[in-house]
Structures are given as C-alpha cells and as structure tokens.
C-alpha cells in the first residue's frame, strides 16, 4: 500500500463537522469530476474512497447515487469505481458551490465554502483525496502535489495552501497544472492539515532519521576534507625539507626551525595542532600552532629560494 493511500484511508476515518464535509465534497467534485458528460462522473481505483464520498453525500443530502465498476484503460489490473451525479441535482450542486442558480459553472467556489480555517482545511482535504499524492519519504525525495485541470482552481488551491505558509508553487503541465510542495517540513505541516496524525508520525520519524544521516555524512565528509588538507600540507612541507637538504641548506636555519624540520620528518601525518603539541611535550618548551606555522614559513621561504636558483641554473 502506497504512502498516499495510507494517508487517504486515515483521512476517511476521521469525524468531521458538516461545514467541513461540505467544503471537502465541493472540492472533491470540482477537482475529480468530469463535467463533459450528461452526468458529473468521479472515478477512482479505491473502493474505500468512493464509499466515503457516497457516505458524505448521503449525510449532507440524504441521497445515494449509483456506483459503477468500469474497465481501467490505464494498463492497470485494478478496477475503477465511478460515482455519477446527475446534472439535474441543481440545488445540491448550487449548495456545493459548483455552479450558480443559473447553472453556470463557477471557476472557484463561493466564499461560504471556505469561510474559515476549518473549512479551508476541508477544501484542501477534498482536493487531496481526489487529485493529491505525497511521496513516501523512505523511498524517494520529499514531494507533495495536487493536480488541477483549470488554471483558476490551481491558483485558488495555491492561495489556500499558502494561507498556512506552505510555500506552494504551480507548474504548468501538458494536461493541467501541478500545485506542489518540496520542503520536507512544509509537507509535514500539510499532512497535519489533512488530519492524518499516524502519517505525520511516520513522516517525521523518517525525516528525522534522514536529517541525522545527512548530518553524519556531512561531518564525515568534512572530517575527510580536513584530513586530506593535512596530508596535502604535510606533503608540501616535506618537499620543502627535501629541497633544503639536497642543497645543504640546513645551516641557514636557526636551531628552532631546524628542530621543527626534524619533527615534521618524524611525524609526517600530524596536523599543525598535533605537531605543536608533540613538540611542546617532548622538548618541554611550549609552542603554539601559530608559532609553529611561523617556523614552517621560514622553511617554505628558504625552499622557494633554492627552487628559484635551480630554475635560473637551468
């Protein structure tokens, strides 16, 4: 069972007030309904969902419409379940804000359908039940989407989502519009709007695990990068020492610098901090990382002079 279906199943188990159910049904019909036929048809692969919509219609309007099982033409073995609402149900469709008293289709619902935050949540719930999906965070990246066939409805859904600061965006598709959210934290907030607490707990557990894993990977990468830098610097310093020794230049360095040179050769893989601690411990003379770096600079400067001389001789 997909994560999206788990969310939708949990949503259908929740008790809701009549104004919320009205908003939910209005949104579901508007976003899932096919208005091109003599009847408004709504189709889904999920029997539990069509039963839920039938139950809401019966609860609000004491009506029951036929549910048909039809062939799935999308190369899926699953049967399709379809519920049809006659367009002669003018009073019901007007009440749901689908069209007005003149039977003209309303591009967006009237204000009373989404009059308060609870009704707005209900409207978003209906849209998600009809045309929504959320990737399972365990198997893919963070992504939530709603698919709308009309631009007015897409903009309206985006506006409702962003009332809750969800940073929803719209992308034009070949057939309609996709309203989507990519941020993990915002998707978690949206699942809360859907009133699917079990799904929220699952999503948050996976998200926290991923965050910890990513943080560990970043720390490991940072540690590896630091180690690579230590080895690279030590290699350069050993090359400097080699050229000084090849040119019999040790006598040009003072005692402290020659001491540092010998310790670098003895501990080639130590970081500057570690080397300073070793020298301080073994010589009983304290030296800071900055002081050690100053000595190594003298070694580097002398090596550079020898390199220039060798270049000129060539």
Residue 94, both tokens: 């007007």
Where helices occur in 45-150 by DSSP H, the ranges are 47-61, 90-95, 117-131
Last residue of one domain, picked from the residues 160, 195, 230: 195
In this prediction, the residues of the chain whose per-residue pLDDT falls under 70 are 73-77, 140, 210, 212-214, 216-217, 219-221, 223, 228, 314
Task: Tell me: do 66 and 178 sit in the same domain.
Answer: yes
* Number of domains observed in the structure of the chain: 2
pLDDT tens, residue by residue, 253-296 = 888 888 988 888 888 878 888 888 888 888 888 889 888 889 88
Q: Establish if 206 belongs to a structural domain.
A: no
Displacement of CA 291 from its chain's centroid (Å): 47
Cα 132 from Cα 8, distance rounded (Å) = 9
Same domain? For 183 and 240 the reply is no
Rounded to whole angstroms, the Cα distance separating 7 from 194 reads 8
pLDDT of residue 55: 93
Q: What is the pLDDT of residue 16?
A: 92
pLDDT of amino acid 76: 61
Residues 140, 186, 132, 197: what is their CA dihedral angle, to the nearest 10 degrees?
A: 90
**Which CATH number fits the domain that encloses residue 8?**
3.10.28.10
pLDDT score at 24: 96
Structural domain for 230, as ranges: 222-313
First to last CA, the chain: 75
Which residue carries 């809701």 as its tokens? Answer: 16
pLDDT of res. 220:
67
Query: Does 208 map to a domain?
Result: no
Residue 166: what pLDDT?
A: 94
């Amino acid at each position: 069972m997909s994560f999206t279906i788990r969310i939708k199943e949990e949503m259908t188990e929740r008790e809701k007030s009549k104004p919320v159910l009205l908003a939910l049904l209005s949104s579901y019909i508007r976003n899932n309904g096919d208005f091109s036929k003599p009847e408004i048809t709504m189709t889904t692969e999920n029997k539990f969902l069509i039963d839920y919509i039938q139950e809401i219609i019966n609860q609000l309007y004491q009506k029951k419409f036929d549910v048909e099982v039809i062939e799935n033409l999308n190369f899926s073995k699953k049967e399709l379940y379809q519920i049809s609402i006659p367009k002669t149900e003018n009073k019901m469709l007007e009440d749901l804000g689908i069209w007005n008293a003149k039977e003209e289709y309303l591009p967006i619902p009237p204000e009373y359908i989404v009059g308060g935050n609870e009704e707005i949540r209900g409207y978003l719930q209906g849209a998600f039940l009809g045309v929504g999906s959320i990737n399972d965070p365990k198997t893919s990246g963070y992504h939530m989407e709603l698919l709308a066939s009309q631009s007015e409805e897409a903009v309206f859904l985006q506006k409702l989502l962003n009332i809750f600061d969800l940073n929803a965006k719209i992308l034009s598709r070949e057939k309609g519009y996709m309203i989507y959210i990519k941020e993990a934290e915002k998707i978690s907030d949206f699942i809360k709007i859907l009133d699917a607490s079990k799904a929220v707990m699952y999503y948050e557990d996976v998200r926290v695990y991923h965050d910890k894993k990513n943080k560990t990977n970043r720390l490991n990468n940072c540690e590896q990068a630091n180690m690579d830098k230590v080895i690279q610097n030590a290699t350069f310093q050993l090359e400097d020492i080699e050229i000084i020794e090849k040119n019999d230049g040790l006598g040009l360095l003072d005692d402290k610098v020659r001491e540092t040179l010998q310790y670098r050769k003895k501990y080639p893989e130590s970081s500057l901090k570690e080397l300073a601690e070793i020298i301080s411990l073994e010589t009983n003379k304290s030296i800071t990382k900055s002081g050690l770096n100053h000595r190594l600079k003298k070694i580097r400067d002398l090596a550079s002079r020898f390199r220039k001389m060798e270049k000129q001789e060539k």
